A and B are shown apart, each in its own frame.
Chain A
Amino acid sequence: QVQLVQSGSELKKSGASVKVSCKASGYTFTTYSINWVRQAPGQRPEWMGWINTNTGNPTYAQGFSGRFVFSLDTSVSTAYLQISSLKAEDTAVYYCARDHMPWDVWGTGTTVTVSS
């Protein structure tokens, strides 16, 4: 079945970097773009942007440029989110979501906790 499986929880120090993976299965990876979403504890989902899985071209939402980088490895049907110079306010669950209907499949979620 169609699924997006994300990497496990991460505990990082302020200033460090983290890379979250989102592995797709059950469909042709390059058919649909991938969105990234941040959900801080008790908050609404917040759209971070998307990456075109055909061209690799990323689009970042306002407030998510600079420290945030979307990338792909199409050979293993995987999208990545890298966050550098982590801050306490980056503590959240990060989701990937397939861009279809509009977002019909979400990843399993990756909890990133940033401690000082």
Chain B
Amino acid sequence: SYELTQTPSVSVSPGQTASITCSGDRLGDKYASWYQQKPGQSPVLVIYEDKKRPSGIPERFSGSNSGNSATLTISGTQLMDEADYYCQAYDRNTVVFGGGTKLTVL
């Protein structure tokens, strides 16, 4: 079965750039999406189709995807961005999530 792998944790200082990666076999051939989940809340879509932002998502969130890795980049990270981030992709009509990355802003 297809697997997506994420670094368990990333730390960043406020105002700096955070990069969160998601790895999977030929992931660049698929569309990657990213979800933000804060404790006790439902996930929120922040990036879809590799680099598109849904309405209401700040411009500081951006995405890329090529080769075997997709990356979520948060520029000018704010305290409110502290959360778990999950990547998602489709593989042969199956939906797969990465293991998640805990972003700490301190």
Chain B: residues with Cβ within 8 Å of the partner, total of: 21
Q: Are A35 and B95 in contact (CB under 8 A)?
A: yes
- Please, which residue of chain B has its CB at the minimum distance from the CB of A96? B42
> A-facing mask of B40-52, CB < 8 A → 1, else 0?
0011110010000
Q: In the bound complex, what is the Cα–Cα distance between A104 and B44 (angstroms)?
A: 7
- Please, which residue of chain A has its CB at the minimum distance from the CB of B84? A44
CB distance from A34 to the nearest CB of B (A): 13
Instruction: Please give, as numbers and ranges, the residues of chain A lying within 8 Å of B98 by CB-CB distance.
Output: 44
- Please, which residue of chain A has its CB at the minimum distance from the CB of B42? A106
Number of inter-chain CB pairs below 8 Å: 45
**A44 contacts which of B31, B33, B93, B99 (Cβ < 8 Å)?**
B99
Question: 8 Å CB contacts to A: which residues of B66-106?
Answer: 86, 88, 90, 93-100
Instruction: Please give, as numbers and ranges, the residues of chain B lying within 8 Å of A108 by CB-CB distance.
Output: 42
> Beyond A44-B86, A45-B86, is A106–B94 a contact (Cβ under 8 Å)?
no
Q: In the bound complex, what is the Cα–Cα distance between A45 and B48 (angstroms)?
A: 17
Q: Can you list 11 pairs linking A and B with CB atoms under 8 Å apart? A: A44-B86, A44-B100, A47-B95, A61-B94, A97-B43, A101-B45, A102-B31, A102-B48, A102-B88, A103-B45, A104-B54
4 shortest interchain CB distances as A-B pairs: A47-B95, A106-B42, A44-B97, A45-B97
- Add 4 more A-B contacts to A44-B99, A102-B31 (CB < 8 A): A101-B54, A102-B48, A104-B48, A106-B44
